[in-house]
Amino acid sequence: MYSEKVMDHFQNPRNVGEIEHASGVGTVGNAKCGDIMRMYLDIDENRVIKDCKFKTFGCGAAVATSSMATELVMGKTVDEALLVTNKAVMEALDGLPPVKVHCSLLAEEAIHAALWDYAGRQGITIDGLERPKNDIGEEEVEEEY
């Protein structure tokens, strides 16, 4: 069901944990739906992401997308990190099963939520960054019978 990369990032997740005195923290998802991601960013004065950590409650894909997202934004500037989309996360993981695509959306949202928090604390605006939705919402369930 999962690619080798997804399994690797789930079983050996990178950058699990918290950052004390983080520059920005974002939490997205909904326990009701079974996924919550929290992303911590440590950003220096040149707006470069020096460190990134995460904690996730969720399935294998939720953990793997969080892990990959932290790897993709590490060392990037804030503006570059904004360009890390859910598609980029999925491609880096060699794809996800269709029912798990929402996990990659959640990973993108988590980055944006942490950046939004950072911008708020700094009193700055980041071009192209919108206030993230906390809940990515329920997808339509197919009609049965």
Q: How far apart are CA 47 and CA 7, in angstroms?
A: 32
Q: In whole angstroms, what is the distance from residue 63 CA to residue 121 CA?
A: 27
* 103 given a catalytic annotation: yes
- Residue 52: active-site member: no
Measured from the CB atom, the residue of 23 and 66 that comes closer to another protein is 66
Which residues ranging from 9 to 68 are in contact with another protein (CB under 8 A)? 10-11, 13, 16, 18, 27, 31-38, 55-63
- Give yes or no for a contact between 71 and 89, defined as CB atoms under 8 angstroms apart: no
Whole-number Å distance between alpha carbons of 34 and 58:
6
User: Closest CB to another protein among 53 and 108?
Assistant: 53
**144 binds another protein, rule: CB under 8 A:** yes
- What single string gives the DSSP state of each residue in 14-61? SSBS--TT-SEEEEEEETTTTEEEEEEEEE-TTSBEEEEEEEEES-HH
Least distance from another protein to the Cβ atom of residue 79, Å:
27
* 13 versus 47: smaller Cβ distance to another protein: 13
Query: Which positions are annotated as active-site residues?
Result: 33, 103
Q: Which residues bind another protein (CB under 8 A)?
A: 2, 7, 10-11, 13, 16, 18, 27, 31-38, 55-63, 99-100, 138-139, 141, 144-145
